[in-house]
Structure 1
Amino acid sequence: MLMIGNLFVFMSFQMLIPTLPPYIKSLGASGLEIGLVTTLFSIGAVLSRPFIGFMLEYKARKSLVLIGAIALLLITVIYPISQIVVLFLLFRFAHGLAWGWSTTVNGTAAVDIVPNSRLGEGMGYFGLSVTLGMIIAPSLGIYLFQVTSFTNLIMISGILGVIAILLLWTVKYDTPEVVKNTKREELKFSFTGSLIEKSSWYPAFITVMATLGYGSIVTFIVIFGEERGIDQIFLFYLFNAIMASLARPIAGKWFDQRGPLGLIVACSGVTFVGMWVLSYAHSNFAIAVAGLLFGLGFGSLIPTLQSWTLSLTPANRRGVANGMFFSSIDLGIGLSGLVFGILAQYIEIATLFQISSIFLLITIFMTLVTVRKKRIAEQQTI
């Protein structure tokens, strides 16, 4: 039920991701302001996560999950009144605050339920709700944006948000004993301490690199389709979803049996190829092929990085680690939106995709550094 509820949270939210940039463009926004749609949202999410990560060290899960879902719904339904660019960007920042809260709590609630011995597989299945929401919903959002009004798009997003709240209400949450036995007075809040979990910061930093590459697609793929005259851009998300659904269970079991490193290298390589296929796409077929590659690569990369992060983290700090992980995603996508939003004023979007693919090579390099260090450590032990 948590997986299904989380799917509807992501469906409600993610159907807005590819449609907000062209909407704000229709309001007269510049390339930089279009980039700020992603950047301000990411800043809000990053700022809220240390506070909710701290609360997860001593509070039960249910009330926190429901507060996050309700806040997302309320902010979503007020978007249509934002006919001024500055007001729209302000709403976007507030949306980021709520998103940071909700994703951190939902992910931590899932970790509490999954046994440690099947962490990779369990979080892979839970992550499937994230991936499917991230992939199916943009297709639906793009379709609705093209055939109906922005207000109707928001209304449907709101309905999905209501369904999410009802589903999350029924979940039987499992709060760890160490959290139940901890009192607020026993803890001291530190913004930095609740933003970064030292035991698992490295995979989170690799996540920043991976999402820096992906962020340009999130922000500009609809506009890219308009420039290329590709009328079925939703095929990218559709085939992405199909391949991610097929690959995710296999990737989760690979993680539990062999660890994350080889899997991250393979997934990053496939995603890199997918970005170049996308940059050369001039047809619906090429868009579909790029979607398949992304579903196979990026669709398994993110949950693998999350499982790696959590596997290195003590149970009572997993809320902080989850917040750090999702902040890494938002930071990468946000920086990507800002940097490539500026570059978009001077170069073609296809070139942006090619430049941003370099960050997938950096992801591979950083992972191989870890592989080398691990091998050296094993040799010294022998």
Structure 2
Amino acid sequence: MAHVPAPENTTRSTQEPVATSTVRLWSREFVLAWIVNFFLAFVFYFLMTTMAVYAIKEFIAGETASGLAASMFVIGSTTARLFAGNLVELVGRRRNLLIALVVGALASLAYFPASSYGSLLVVRFLHGASFAIASTTAMTLAQSVIPRARRGEGTGYFTLSMTLATALGPLLGLLLVDHVGYGALFAGSAVASVLALVIALFLRTRDLAPDREARARLLRFRPADMLHPAVLPVASFMLVLAICYSGVLTYLQPFAAEAGLAGGASIFFLVYAASMLLTRTIMGRLQDRRGDNAVIVFAVLAFAAGLALLGLAGSDALVIVAGVAMGLGFGSLLGALQAVAVSKVPMRRVGVAISTHYFMVDLGIGIGPVLLGLGLGVFGFDTMYLVLAVVALVSLGLYELVHGRYERARRRVRAEDGEGAAAADSDLVRH
């Protein structure tokens, strides 16, 4: 039998040969963590779509400065991801979550007295940092109670909390700003943050305290402890896809305005979220039963198709179809690759695995607009989206290199072992 290279955690694959429907998924802790994560993501999207305009109106910020006011949250989040995994182990899941949620609630209230552009940037950075630590902890807690046999399905259900926030956050944020004002926006952010904190108080989770040697290692915050080496290869694939997606987040509105497709762009993220809602649970179950490759390859193809449709869009209808394809594609990839990342580490290191995964997501969304902005000086938006579609397709080669071939080999070995066990049982019956 051929030797198959294995990740650190060979016994915790995202697929298990057991009847998944008989294993309970929706536990009390899972549901509470889901609600907390929803409020965290809601606040992020609630404020993200309005901060650039707020900086322009309140502080007369220029185009670059207003963009920084929006992205400073992501900068704070990306920085904190480096430390989030270690903090989960050092402080404990529940305590770490509560501390981060308190900081997040205080940051939401700090928008009111932020009377200068500089103070707004500080608040945005601290708010992003608290979000990264709290969301990493909430996801780690959820992963600790998801049955191994339903890892893909459970991760898919859990990330639906972010999907709902993607749709509701921008919608309600813009409605409040247009009809009430920014004071109501910040009040809504504070209320959602406090609700997350109150719900988290009811969480009950047991933490495995690290031994003295492990604690000393974690306190050094070595690179290998902050970004898990077993997760980095597949997370690098996620980085490429996040850069591609940043082209949609950042440039969809100016592209639509230039091409006369504002109608389609106005409901793009709504159909994107609806597509994710309808397909996420199906994809999670498929991942548990058919393996990582079946879901991830299909999702990349759907994502690339969505990017290509944007590049070719000549009507609002094509923009809407592109939103459906991207919800099916990139929306499925976020949950599927998180499940892969978790499967590569032992349970005590799940926090670091999740922070590594989302560090690459944040990094891609953060640097993508800068890289793509350089290219826009040479070609237009339509060409950019077509190029990104090609990049997404080519990234499948990277996936094959860092995970796909090993996953295929593991499933082949598992199938051979299963056939061998079945043959042995058959011989036993005959004799």
CA distance in 2, matches of 1:181, 1:25: 47
> 1:217 corresponds to which residue?
248
Q: Which amino acid aligns with 1:207?
A: M
Contact (CA 8 Å) 1:10, 1:130: kept in 2 or not? Answer: yes
Q: What is the aligned counterpart of 1:11 among 5, 17, 42?
A: 42
| Counterpart residue number, 1:265 | 297
**1:1-382 mapped onto 2 (5 Å cutoff):** 1-26=32-57, 27-37=59-69, 40-79=72-111, 82=114, 84-175=116-207, 179-180=208-209, 182-183=211-212, 186-188=215-217, 189-227=220-258, 228=260, 230-231=262-263, 233-281=265-313, 284-341=316-373, 348-369=380-401, 370-372=403-405
Question: Structure 1 residues 153-162 or 97-106, which shifts more?
Answer: 153-162
Aligned residues between the structures? 379
Deviations 1:352-377 (A, max 9, x none): 44444444224322123343466678
Change (3 A) 1:150 1:347: farther
Unmatched tracts of structure 2, length 5 or more: 1-31, 417-431
Long gaps (5+) in structure 1:
none
Distance 1:88 1:247, change over 3 A: same
Deviation at 1:268, TM superposition (A): 1.4
Identity of aligned residues (%): 26
Whether the 8 Å CA contact 1:40–1:334 is kept in 2: the answer is no
Give me the whole-angstrom Cα distance separating, in 1, the residues matched to 2:108 and 2:373: 24
| Residue deviations 1:78-115 (CA, integer Å, cap 9, x gap) | 33555654443333322222122112111111111112
Q: Is the 8 A contact 2:90 2:215 kept in 1?
A: no
Secondary structure in structure 2 of the residue aligned to 1:198: coil
Amino acid at match of 2:404: V
Letter in 1 for 2:84: I
> d(CA) in 1 for partners of 2:77 and 2:44?
13
Q: Based on CA coordinates, which of the two structures has the bigger radius of gyration?
A: 2
Q: RMSD of the TM alignment (CA)?
A: 3.1
1:224–1:77 Cα change, 3 Å: farther
**Greater Cα shift, 274-283 or 11-20:** 274-283
State the alpha-carbon separation in 1 of the partners of residues 351 and 211 from structure 2: 14
Secondary structure (helix, strand or coil) at the match of 2:230 reads helix
CA shift at 1:307, angstroms?
0.2
Native 8 Å contact 2:77 2:128 kept in 1: yes
Distance 2:292 2:344 in 1: 12
